[in-house]
Chains A and B, each alone.
Chain A
Amino acid sequence: EAQVTQNPRYLITVTGKKLTVTCSQNMNHEYMSWYRQDPGLGLRQIYYSMNVEVTDKGDVPEGYKVSRKEKRNFPLILESPSPNQTSLYFCASSFLGDSDTQYFGPGTRLTVL
């Protein structure tokens, strides 16, 4: 089944404790992206990647890191999480020439205490 998977689905952590949210897709998509969704602010793009080793900032990249060492994986790294990073995070992927048509993962709900 074609899908985007994220792990973990739920995470409660404390300020400053490094964490990684994994994202994997099985559709051979070149393009992958991370979003955060907050009440009243909608979906905002954090980072995106056009292919292996090619990443770029979205609208809200501060406090996040990404890497794209393999085509199928695009982990989101929070080196020192803070409470304002409490949010619902979505990973998405698509073919490079069709980045408007993205497949989204189920989401990761992160709470930073």
Chain B
Amino acid sequence: LAKTTQPISMDSYEGQEVNITCSHNNIATNDYITWYQQFPSQGPRFIIQGYKTKVTNEVASLFIPADRKSSTLSLPRVSLSDTAVYYCLVGDEATGGFKTIFGAGTRLFVKA
């Protein structure tokens, strides 16, 4: 089963750039890397997805090195409202990617 490892928690201050790295050493050739954000008592929300190199949208950037064994979610100029848990996911090749495995996630706390 594809497995991810992330830091348990991170602290930051408003206006700073935050980078959260996820390790996925056993990623399969066809797997995409997906990041979700979850606020307390709400369902996770899709943030960004990528396969290789760099992907950017209006919320975040995702950096994936050539070996794809890790990825970094970059949140530019965070605000207090970015305080949340961030999950990194990769597909489960054994089930064709249909079985979804959320890791423990990274709890980001943004301070004023």
Contact = CB atoms under 8 A, between A and B. Distances in A.
B49 A100 contact: yes
Contact of B41 (A35, A92, A100, A107): A107
A113 interface: no
A86 to B, nearest CB: 15
B34 A100 contact: yes
Given A92-B43, A104-B43, A105-B43, A33 B49 contact: no
Interface in A59-113: 59, 88, 90, 92, 99-107, 109
A45 interface: yes
A62 to B, nearest CB: 16
B41 A88 contact: yes
B102 A100 contact: no
B100 A45 contact: yes
A26 B49 CA distance: 23
A50 B96 CA distance: 11
A107 B40 CA distance: 11
Contacts of B34: 100-101
Interface string B13-49: 0000000000000000000101000000111111001
B102 A102 contact: no
A47 to B, nearest CB: 10
Interface string A34-58: 0100000011110010100000101
Given A35-B102, A45-B99, A48-B100, 9 more contacts: A43-B44, A43-B102, A45-B102, A48-B99, A100-B32, A100-B97, A100-B100, A102-B44, A102-B100
Interface of A: 4, 31, 33, 35, 42-45, 48, 50, 56, 58-59, 88, 90, 92, 99-107, 109
Counting from the closest, the 3 A-B pairs by CB-CB distance are A104-B43, A43-B102, A100-B34
16 contacts: A33-B100, A35-B102, A42-B104, A42-B105, A59-B101, A99-B97, A99-B100, A100-B34, A101-B49, A102-B46, A102-B100, A104-B42, A104-B44, A104-B45, A107-B41, A107-B42
